[in-house]
Structure 1
Amino acid sequence: MDLLTAEFFQRALIGGALIAVTAPLMGLFLVLRRLAMIGDTLSHVSIAGVALGFLLGVYPIAVGLLFAIIAAFGIEKLRRTYRTYAELSIAIIMSGGIALASIFFTLGISYNLNVNSYLFGSIYTLNSVDLLVIAIVTVVVLAIVLLHRKELFLLSFDEDAAAVNGLPVRYFNILISILTALVISAAIKIVGALLVSALLTVPAACSLALSRSFRQAIAIVVIIGEAAVLAGLWIAGIWNLAPGGTVVLLLIAILVLSLTVRRRLTRV
């Protein structure tokens, strides 16, 4: 119980609970649109921005967010250019992000230790500014998703049908990419850039295995995200484990359980 009274752990729980809503939710839209790897791409680009932020002495998450938003526009531009080979956009932007990060790393060796916390996550070091950023991102993402839930539903399942019905597909594609960039930039200090993709995709995989409707999928993906993050933080705190890695392994365990349950239900 002493752990729950610790201020750093309370901040970790708050930050984790907030990001556990938005990351799995955006991940569900990405998985349905077959863009699951966009999380890895934007997280690598965000790390380049974080590294530049340390180099310039600017708030790292803000610079990482700026880089991720620029990358989101770049991905959409390349997706339109290479319509038949849309996955090229993800590979190209990811390569550019890794290249920039490596250059910024070599320009400022002294801040590499700080950047490591963004690579692997450092949720126990969240401060008031970090929590404020995460809270703002959560409010913005949830508000936009609720406002455009019908459009996002149609776009996620059939982009061509959405275009035929007069939906501004280009606008909503960019909107989803920007929202994803916001979530990833806010989440990298919690689970780390190398693991943030799991928080986007694994709850979505669990939800798709268990749900029978889109509404159920949304509810399940958020419940699984919250359960994994909060339980993972608790286990990591008690056993002195890496929080990000613990959360991801717990998510994978939930996925295995979900697939097992689905298999048994289909046999009934």
Structure 2
Amino acid sequence: MDIFTEYFFQRALLGGLLIGLAAPMMGVFLVLRRLSMIGDTLAHVSIAGIALGFLLNVYPIGVGLLFAVLASFAIEWLRKAYKTYAELSIAIIMSGGVALATLLFTLGKGFNINVMSYFFGSIYTLDTGDLWVVLAVTVIVVGVILVNYKELFLMFFDEDAAGVSGLPLKFYNMMITILTALVITVAIKIVGALLVSSLLTIPVACSLLVARSFRNSLFWAVLFSEIAVVGGLVAAGVWSLAPGATIVLFLIGLLIISMFVKRGLRL
């Protein structure tokens, strides 16, 4: 197919494959922590940062990343303040992110069209700088998970035991939240803020249907994600569809197939 010879498609495919590796790896830990909705929260805060970047004429993804990291600190702080109602932290930060983004939209009417592209994704506009940022985040995420695999496994399956054993839970909780902020910020340009949480959660939902162990779930989550990225981008390129939406619909299709296959095996 001629689409594979186009540089914009090659960059899109490379960026999609990279985020398709990092996002589900983080998603496994978020699902286990019952924090699946944190993706939407940090995405809305990142949009506020991106809007400010356009307003100040500074690299938008960089400002969005800074906002997401600061929001991750705020979420952890609020989770401690409301231990019994930890989900309040997500609702509060999301509300603030939406309000700030709306305010910045009214201040910069001239860049609203550019910012709106981040709501729905613009993977075909990835440039070399964007790819380097995505690559750096992916390397950091994969490296941190591999180095701290045993500690993270213990913490997410028995946090009390991990605390008793001397594991610095505060540090690891903050680390996971910050890594999630990094992944979400760079993924926004690929699938958009409205769909970014799907890359974190749907591959994990698929993997939980077929995986038999924690390590196995990481493998299957990444595999489902990469299949959806490649399939979605190819379908979008051939039939001129929205790439971000096509990737997500591919993921939902894989989830439905996995559910039917598992049900069939039980019969």
Question: TM-score per shorter chain, which class?
Answer: over 0.9
**Deviation at 1:115?**
0.5
Give matches, 1:37-76, under 5 Å: 37-76=37-76
Residue by residue over 1:123-159, the C-alpha shift from the partner in whole angstroms, topping out at 9 and shown as x without a partner, is 0000000001000001111111100011111122222
Structure 1 segments of 4+ aligned residues over 4 angstroms from their partners: none
* 1:137 paired to 2:137: yes
RMSD: 0.7
* 1:203 paired to 2:203: yes
**Residue type at the aligned position of 1:180:** T
- For the 8 Å contact 1:17–1:229, the answer to whether it is kept is yes
The CA distance in 1 between the partners of 2:53 and 2:162, in whole Å, is: 39
* 1:248 paired to 2:254: no
The CA distance in 2 between the partners of 1:32 and 1:208, in whole Å, is: 11
**Residue type at the aligned position of 2:151:** E
The CA distance in 1 between the partners of 2:259 and 2:196, in whole Å, is: 22
The CA distance in 1 between the partners of 2:265 and 2:175, in whole Å, is: 37
2:110 paired residue number = 110
Give matches, 1:25-174, under 5 Å: 25-174=25-174
Secondary structure at the aligned position of 1:244 is classed as helix
TM-score normalised by structure 2 residue count: 0.99
The CA distance in 1 between the partners of 2:156 and 2:262, in whole Å, is: 23
Secondary structure at the aligned position of 2:194 is classed as coil
Secondary structure at the aligned position of 1:194 is classed as coil
The CA distance in 1 between the partners of 2:155 and 2:194, in whole Å, is: 28
The CA distance in 2 between the partners of 1:155 and 1:187, in whole Å, is: 26
The CA distance in 2 between the partners of 1:102 and 1:39, in whole Å, is: 19
The CA distance in 2 between the partners of 1:44 and 1:154, in whole Å, is: 31
- For the 8 Å contact 1:33–1:157, the answer to whether it is kept is no
The CA distance in 2 between the partners of 1:124 and 1:179, in whole Å, is: 25
1:265 paired residue number = 265
Gaps of 5+ in 1: none
- For the 8 Å contact 1:42–1:68, the answer to whether it is kept is yes
The CA distance in 2 between the partners of 1:16 and 1:206, in whole Å, is: 19
1:217 paired residue number = 217
The CA distance in 2 between the partners of 1:66 and 1:44, in whole Å, is: 13
**Deviation at 1:265?**
2.3
**Deviation at 1:182?**
0.6
TM-score normalised by structure 1 residue count: 0.98
Residue by residue over 1:185-210, the C-alpha shift from the partner in whole angstroms, topping out at 9 and shown as x without a partner, is 11000000110000100000001111
Higher deviation after alignment, 160-169 or 9-18: 160-169
Gaps of 5+ in 2: none
**Deviation at 1:264?**
2.0
